[in-house]
Chains A and B, each alone.
Chain A
Amino acid sequence: MTELAWLGAAEGARRIAAGRLTSAAWTEALLDRAAALQPTLAAWITLDRDGALAAARAADAGAPRSPLHGVPLGLKDCIDTAGLRTTGHSRLHLHRVPTQDALIAVRLRAAGAVILGKHAMYELSYGGPSFDLPFPPARNPWDPDRIPGGSSSGTAAAVASGQGPIGVGTDAGGSIRQPAAYCGVVGLKPTLGLVSREGVLPMTFTMGEAGPMARNVEDAALLLDAIAGTATAATLGAGVAGARIGMLRSFFDGPTVRAKPEVVAAVENALSRLSALGGRVAETVPPAPHDLDACGRVILLAEAFANHEAQLRADPAVYGRLARHRFALGAFLSAADLLQAQRRRMALAAGMDALFETHDLLVCAAEVSGAPRFDDAVSAESFPFVGQPSLRIPFNLTGHPALALPCGFDGAGMPLSVQIVARRGEEARLLAAAAALEARLGVRDARPRLG
């Protein structure tokens, strides 16, 4: 069972195609593991044992349809699944059973993948690690006393703990990349507009994307290809030789963003590995992190409020405390505030685009530290973002694809992560660079000590 828990998507699919493994056996092993770890990690809201086993048996009975044929996976619980409860981890949708699959789920089923169930998350993609909701918060597999990050918290926790090789999260302000960083998995926020939002519970209109989370870059690429129709896995071996790589020092070791020394050292180590692989690394100066963060926050707050306005007026108590506060704050922004933020957004995006005239990739930290503890005050604040700017929102704002890649551990044994950013639409280049770096960092097969 343990061997199947840590089996990657690509390797598992190859074994299934070769007749050396059945999807049903793999699926059953993961369902058993998920049930066993649920009291500790709470990574799931709904496990669909019957549906998953039926899909696995159907996959075993048919010819391989894709590189993910027979691969079990989970979806963040804001992605609709026909006949399977989709709650957004919220009392608001406690009994909501969609009648149609999100297009993401349609594509995954068409690829022969097996949906194990729905992952826990921060409430409606904007709450926090909360204890006032109908479901408990997911916990970090590397230390269950620490948060897994969010909002795709359960997806990261499940993938990191061998409860599925891959999963689909969403990211409107870092919600794939932060939990990926905290849990030590690969997480990709694709280019704005690359992945369909049809059937995904909305948090924002112009900032968010669904994307892959996986234990390795190859599996992330295969999952992206399945949900987005790209062909990134075919060029993973392209490497980074000759690539012009811009180091965004102000995003991890600057006057306004100062990551923990262990993070700075881990990112610098990653950059030296990229250089050794033939990348041409040079420091470059992006727009100020505070400007990018401020602009992104205003747009996120306004769009989130627009999605929840009627409910906040009718019955705000239906939300947990953190989501209620974060959704409501946008009510106090003016139309002019939003309009000026959008105008500023265009200028900031142009500033980031200008970097890509002389660089092929940008590199910085994905987070400023390892995962904090649940009892850390920041985790319970309604508006922690009025302090240090986010390192991830800038790329939601500008629409560039950005990937969090595990790159080491801090002194407490918590994962650290480097962020790699590419031009819009260049996920193939981004993933190829990540694959080359992953092979040199030596942390790909690190696993938390769990049952």
Chain B
Amino acid sequence: VTPEDFAAWAARLGLEKLTPEDLDQLRQGWIGMQPQLARIREGLRETDKPPAPPLGLAR
């Protein structure tokens, strides 16, 4: 995610009063979190995993 995209995302979340320095730090933190989020999803038990698409009849 680019700095501009991240700032736009923050604005959509109502966080437009954060400073550019805040957004830079948050973007770095968000990037740093991605391996952790992936680790959580990949480690789910089979019975906890969400259904994989396609969910309906194949078209």
Contact = CB atoms under 8 A, between A and B. Distances in A.
B22 to A, nearest CB: 6
Residue of A290, A321, A328 with highest tally of chain B CB at under 10 A: A328
Q: On chain A, which size bracket covers the interface?
A: 20 to 34
Interface in B9-23: 9-10, 13-15, 17-18, 22
Interface string A295-320: 10110010000000000111111000
Contacts of A290: 36, 39
B33 A297 contact: yes
A325 B15 contact: no
A344 B43 CA distance: 7
Contacts of A317: 17
B56 interface: no
A91 to B, nearest CB: 15
Interface string B37-59: 10111011100100000000000
A347 B29 CA distance: 26
A418 B3 CA distance: 42
B22 A347 contact: no
A341 B15 contact: no
B24 to A, nearest CB: 10
Interface in A366-381: none
A340 B26 contact: no
A331 B37 contact: no
Nearest to A295: B40
Given A312-B15, A343-B48, A294 B40 contact: yes
A324 interface: yes
Contacts of A313: 14-15, 17
B33 A347 contact: no
Contacts of B17: 313-317
A343 B44 contact: yes
A410 interface: no
A347 B44 contact: yes
Nearest to B27: A332
Given A316-B22, A324-B22, A347-B45, A297 B15 contact: no
Given A290-B39, A316-B18, A325 B29 contact: yes
A347 B22 CA distance: 35
A325 B25 CA distance: 7
Contacts of B13: 331-332
A315 B43 CA distance: 38
Nearest to B9: A332
A383 interface: yes
A321 B19 CA distance: 11
Given A344-B48, A347-B44, A382 B29 contact: yes
B36 to A, nearest CB: 4
Interface string A372-401: 000000000011001000000000000000
A259 interface: no
Interface string A312-355: 11111100010011001101110001001101101100000000
Given A325-B25, A329-B30, A382-B25, A294 B37 contact: yes
Given A298-B37, A332-B9, A291 B22 contact: no
Given A297-B33, A332-B9, A347-B45, A325 B40 contact: no
Contacts of B44: 340, 343-344, 347
B40 A328 contact: no
Given A343-B48, A382-B28, 19 more contacts: A290-B39, A293-B36, A294-B35, A301-B33, A312-B18, A313-B15, A316-B15, A324-B18, A325-B22, A325-B29, A328-B18, A328-B22, A329-B26, A333-B33, A340-B40, A344-B48, A383-B28, A386-B32, A386-B33
26 contacts: A291-B39, A294-B39, A295-B40, A313-B17, A314-B17, A316-B15, A316-B18, A317-B17, A321-B22, A325-B25, A328-B15, A329-B33, A331-B13, A332-B10, A332-B26, A332-B30, A340-B40, A340-B48, A344-B43, A344-B44, A346-B48, A347-B43, A347-B44, A382-B28, A383-B32, A386-B32
Closest 9 CB pairs of A and B: A386-B32, A294-B36, A383-B29, A313-B14, A343-B48, A382-B25, A294-B39, A329-B29, A344-B40
Interface of B: 9-10, 13-15, 17-18, 22, 25-26, 28-30, 32-33, 35-37, 39-41, 43-45, 48
